[in-house]
């Protein structure tokens, strides 16, 4: 019952409190249904977690689905933690004094502790600089920990396999497996050495500095390129054509200093008929994404601006890429039809008006 309430709370929080963060996250990736995209991620430690995280984030285009995903992930984390605590085969319940039979009262209250990890994940997910990768990685690590056998020797052998494999697939979150199932100091030291070996080895294999590999290649984004909550909120409202928000709330004009403000700039300038500025802003937004991802949202805008400015060949290139996405595919096909029959631009009043402005405008420079 409490789990269900927790799930509903998570859902409502994301849907009503931070939908703009979810929308902003969706704008910072280009999830493609092709093997190159998958392999590119699987060749990096933590790559499976990143891939699955990006798979989930593509649904954030609609905040209802996004909130639902967060609810599912955090409830899963809680249930997995609870299973770790409550399952008699699990290590924690057999070894932690807290859960020993000598302290049955505390053992009965262990469900409270099962909320610690999901609450921490919830807090982390609210940080714009922490992508979905570590959230997914922790949930999957908890799942792996539930698979550890009870017998000490078998558990050690299984962990020795799971730590390197899990590290490569999920990243440093696998450290939970090293520290959580408390058994013997030798067990911990052995697994810790193994994990350190994996991290150092990965730094040799991958084109990232050791400190970034140790921290998790896509676990944390340095810098302030993502943008503030405020910028994200305005951007989301502008995307929904809610001009009154801009008129009443925005005190300073957007700049190109972050992904969110650049997207906001792109939305505003397109609405004002400044197609090239909108194009530049979308491109800058895409290039500012901290983990070097590309952006389906930016590509969509670039398709629009390139159609308006008559650069069909490059628009077709972007469309071909968007056709490998889940949620931009249908729109991309419509744009292909538009380019095949440019006279149909009359059916798109915004593009038609912008094309007229572009074709007849006097060239000037902006900086």
Partner 1 sequence: MAKISSSINIIKVWVVCLCLMGCHSKPENVSKTDALPEIYPDYVDVTIPVGIAPLNFAMADETFDALDVEVKGSKGGTIHAEGAYADFDINAWHQLLEQNKGASLTVTVCARKDGQWVQYKDFSIQISSDPLEAWGITYRRIPPSYEMYSQMGLYQRDLSNFDERELLQNTRTPNQCINCHTANRTNPDQYIFHVRGDHGATVIGSEKREVNGEKLELLQAKNDKLGGSMVYPYWHPGGRYCAFSTNKTSQMFHTTKKNKRIEVYDSSSDVFVYDTETHTILRDTLIMKKYWAENTPAFSPDGKWLYFTTALRQVYPTDYDQEKYSLCRVSFDEKTGKIGEQVDTLINVRETGKSVSWPRPSYDGRYLMYTQTDYGYFTIWHPEADLWLLDLQTGETRPMTEVNSDRAESYHNWNTNSHWFLFTSRSENGLYTQVYFSHFDNDGQATKPFLLPQHNPRQYYRRLLYSYNTPDFTLRPVEINPREMGRRIENQERTATKTK
* Residue closer to partner 1 (CB basis): 195 or 262: 262
CA distances from 159 to 147, 153, 163, 239, 280 (A): 10, 10, 6, 47, 50
To partner 1, the closest distance from the beta carbon of 217 in angstroms equals 9
* Residue span binding partner 1 (CB under 8 A) among the ranges 57-65, 167-175, 269-277, 341-349: 269-277
- Beta carbons of 26 and 60 less than 8 angstroms apart: yes
- Side-chain half-sphere CA neighbours of 142 within 13 A: 24
To partner 1, the closest distance from the beta carbon of 32 in angstroms equals 8
Exposure string of 3-16, with b = 16+ CB inside 10 Å and e = fewer, is beebbeebbebbbe
- Side-chain half-sphere CA neighbours of 122 within 13 A: 22
337 binds partner 1 (CB under 8 A): no
342 binds partner 1 (CB under 8 A): no
322 binds partner 1 (CB under 8 A): no
* Residue closer to partner 1 (CB basis): 3 or 129: 129
What's the chain's Rg over C-alpha atoms?
24
CB neighbour class for 343 (10 Å; exposed up to 12, middle 13-18, buried from 19): exposed
* Residue span binding partner 1 (CB under 8 A) among the ranges 47-55, 79-87, 113-121, 277-285: 277-285
* Residue span binding partner 1 (CB under 8 A) among the ranges 3-11, 31-39, 117-125, 139-147: 31-39
Q: Judged by CB under 8 A, which of 289, 296, 303, 332 binds partner 1? A: 289
Kindly determine how many residues on this chain lie close enough to bind partner 1 according to the rule CB under 8 A.
44
Cα 274 from Cα 10, distance rounded (Å)? 40
* Residue span binding partner 1 (CB under 8 A) among the ranges 63-71, 140-148, 185-193, 282-290: 282-290
Q: Judged by CB under 8 A, which of 86, 129, 212, 336 binds partner 1? A: 212
Cα 59 from Cα 254, distance rounded (Å)? 27
78 binds partner 1 (CB under 8 A): no
* Residue span binding partner 1 (CB under 8 A) among the ranges 61-69, 162-170, 190-198, 356-364: 356-364
- What single-letter DSSP state applies at residue 172? G
* Residue closer to partner 1 (CB basis): 64 or 256: 256
Residue in the block written with tokens 């700049």: 255
CA distances from 367 to 275, 286, 306 (A): 15, 18, 20
Cα 172 from Cα 53, distance rounded (Å)? 15
328 binds partner 1 (CB under 8 A): no
The number of beta carbons lying within 10 Å of the beta carbon of residue 271 is: 15
* Binding footprint of partner 1 on the chain (CB under 8 A): 32, 34, 36, 204, 207-209, 212, 222-223, 256, 262, 274-277, 279-280, 283-284, 286-289, 292, 294, 309-311, 313-314, 316-317, 320-321, 358-359, 361-367
């Amino acid at each position: 019952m409490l789990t269900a309430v927790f799930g509903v709370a998570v859902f409502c929080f994301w849907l009503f409190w931070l939908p703009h963060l979810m929308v902003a996250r969706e704008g910072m990736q280009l999830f493609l249904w092709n093997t190159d995209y998958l392999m590119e991620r699987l060749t990096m430690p933590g790559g499976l977690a990143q891939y699955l995280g990006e798979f989930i984030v593509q649904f954030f285009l609609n905040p209802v689905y996004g909130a639902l995903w967060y609810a599912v992930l955090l409830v899963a984390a809680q249930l997995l933690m609870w299973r770790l605590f409550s399952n008699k085969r699990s290590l924690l319940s057999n070894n932690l004094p807290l859960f020993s039979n000598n302290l049955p009262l505390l053992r009965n209250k262990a469900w409270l502790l099962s909320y610690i990890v999901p609450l921490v994940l919830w807090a982390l997910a609210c940080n714009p600089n922490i992508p979905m990768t570590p959230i997914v990685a922790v949930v999957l690590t908890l799942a792996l920990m539930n698979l550890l056998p009870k017998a000490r020797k078998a558990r050690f052998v299984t962990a020795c396999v799971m730590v390197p494999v899990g590290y490569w697939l999920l990243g440093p979150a696998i450290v939970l497996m090293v520290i959580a199932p408390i058994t013997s100091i030798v067990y911990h030291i052995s697994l810790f050495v193994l994990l350190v070996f994996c991290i150092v080895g990965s730094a040799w294999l991958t084109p990232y500095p050791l400190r970034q590999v140790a921290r998790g290649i896509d676990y944390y984004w340095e810098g302030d390129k993502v943008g503030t909550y405020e910028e994200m909120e305005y951007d989301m409202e502008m995307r929904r054509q809610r001009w009154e928000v801009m008129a009443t709330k925005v005190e300073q004009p957007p700049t190109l200093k972050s992904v969110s403000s650049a997207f906001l700039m792109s939305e505003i300038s397109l609405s004002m008929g400044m197609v090239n500025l909108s194009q530049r802003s979308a491109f800058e937004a895409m290039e500012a994404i901290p983990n070097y991802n590309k952006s389906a949202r930016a590509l969509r805008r670039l398709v629009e601006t390139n159609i308006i400015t008559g650069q069909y060949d490059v628009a077709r290139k972007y469309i071909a890429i968007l056709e490998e996405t889940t949620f931009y595919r249908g729109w991309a096909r419509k744009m292909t039809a538009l380019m095949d029959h440019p006279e149909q631009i009359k059916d798109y009043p915004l593009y038609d008006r912008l094309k007229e402005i572009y074709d007849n405008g006097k060239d000037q420079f902006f900086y």
